[in-house]
A and B are shown apart, each in its own frame.
Chain A
Amino acid sequence: MPLFVNNLNIEYPGKVLFKDLQVEVEDQKIVAVRTEVLDGGTTLLKGLAGMLDGIDGEVRLDGLDLLHMDPAQRALKVGYVYEQQGLVSLYDCFQNIALPLQFHTTTRNELVETRIFSLCEKFNVDRQLLNEYPHALNDVQCRMINLLRALVIEPKLLLVDELEGGMSEKVLGDTIDTLREEQKNNAMIVIITTADDLLLDQADDSYQIDDKKLRACH
């Protein structure tokens, strides 16, 4: 099983958000998690990504222990798309997208550029946007740049926090279709938190957060 979550407990001081969470996700699946305001959707994704300290349990991706592996190695396996912000203000969009590859790998700059331009084309992101700094982007553009940065490493697990905010149905639908195309080239699991019915319908599996666990919607 490519993603295996076992007995995951996530809590903040005085509040338990997830208790004994169990999830198994097969390769190349898109999983949607219905989320409400402040119900722990973002925390769940960060927990799965190994970005939170002091959580118990087991998260294994292709046998790798995501909670205890080296952050640099994990950054090449897991892509994370923030709902808001999530970019480095000191860099323009191109540099933001290229950053994980340039920092962690020896990929040649020409190849980095080719990969970024190819992603821009697939996801209909205007190349001129690559020269802009994060402060000049609107929410949707910011999320799309986040998405490209997460995809540029060709992750095995893509975690997306509420992709839909401010997006038209067409753009959202096209983005999901393109993600499915990407899954054909790069066998990755996509987990998206969402409040959007269209996304919940399009996903292979959908869950909702209920009583500190994930319950299947259909």
Chain B
Amino acid sequence: MLDQQSDNLKTPEESLSWSGIGKAILNPIANFYHVSMEIIGLISVALKASTLLLNRRRRLLFYSLFQRQVYNAGVSALYVNGVIGFLIGTLLISRLFDYLPRQIIEDQFGQIFVVVVFRELGPLISGIILIARSATAITSEIGYLRLQREFQVLNGLGINPVFLFLLPVFFAFPVSLFLMFIYFDVVVFLSSFAVVWVSDPSISFTGLLANILSQITLNEIAINAVKAILGGMLIGIISIYFGAKVVDSFTEVTESISKATTAQLLVFFIINVLLSLLAYTQ
């Protein structure tokens, strides 16, 4: 501890020296590398623990916790996802009306919807909601379980804590995220249609829907599924990683939530941007 404090108390001369600048650049990189390796290790631990699911009794124990996570993270998010989807749907179409002729909007609605909502906004906003609503809760839950020494309790019972505490989140978050993509897209479409219909009641619901569906290829669905699987899995693992860093004090829980949320937002945006660039760049 004293060493850490003395490290922080550098004179301005030390900070401005070449070694000080080198450390300032290299330390975050080394730290990032270290955390990345530990998270990859945690993913491999989770995959290894998945073999326990081959046992029917254990699968039943897992399933109740998995259901709880899907309900809390995915199903309960319908309300907030719906409200945000509604706002974005109405905003998107009313803005488009300001800039584009109505005929173009009607003809190109499917393409605009898929490029803006289905590919980018849906995954990004759903991911942010998952991080804000559920990932923070998981980080604090795992931190609490660590404070209560419940990992040790399970070890004492000969039960791998990864099986009960990590695995349900590892599998439930991707499922929940994919559900949230669907809610979001459906609500944005319905609210967009409502705005279009108010300005032109003759417009056909099925026509607009068919217009969108014709634009959604199997490739689009696969890219969104990869975003949900990779994004959901990493968001869950990062929550557990930082939650499990809690050792003794409640203040460590708040610190873990802050670090986990920062990492999750960065990772999730990077995944989305990279996948979109890889998949949709001509």
Contacts and interface: CB of A to CB of B under 8 A. Distances in A.
Interface of A: 46, 49, 51, 70-76, 80, 82, 85-90, 99-100, 102-106
Nearest to B161: A88
B158 A89 contact: no
Nearest to A103: B159
A75 B153 contact: no
A105 B159 CA distance: 12
Interface residues of B, number: 20
B164 A90 contact: yes
B154 A80 contact: no
Contacts of A88: 150, 153-154, 164
A73 B157 CA distance: 10
Given A103-B57, A103-B157, 4 more contacts: A88-B150, A90-B68, A103-B58, A103-B158
A102 B62 CA distance: 11
Contacts of A49: 156
21 contacts: A46-B156, A49-B156, A71-B155, A71-B158, A72-B159, A73-B158, A75-B158, A80-B156, A85-B149, A85-B150, A87-B153, A88-B164, A90-B68, A99-B159, A100-B158, A100-B159, A103-B58, A103-B61, A103-B158, A104-B158, A106-B57
B156 A51 contact: yes
3 shortest interchain CB distances as A-B pairs: A75-B158, A71-B158, A72-B158
B159 A75 contact: yes
A75 B57 contact: no
Contacts of B148: 85, 89
A86 B153 contact: yes
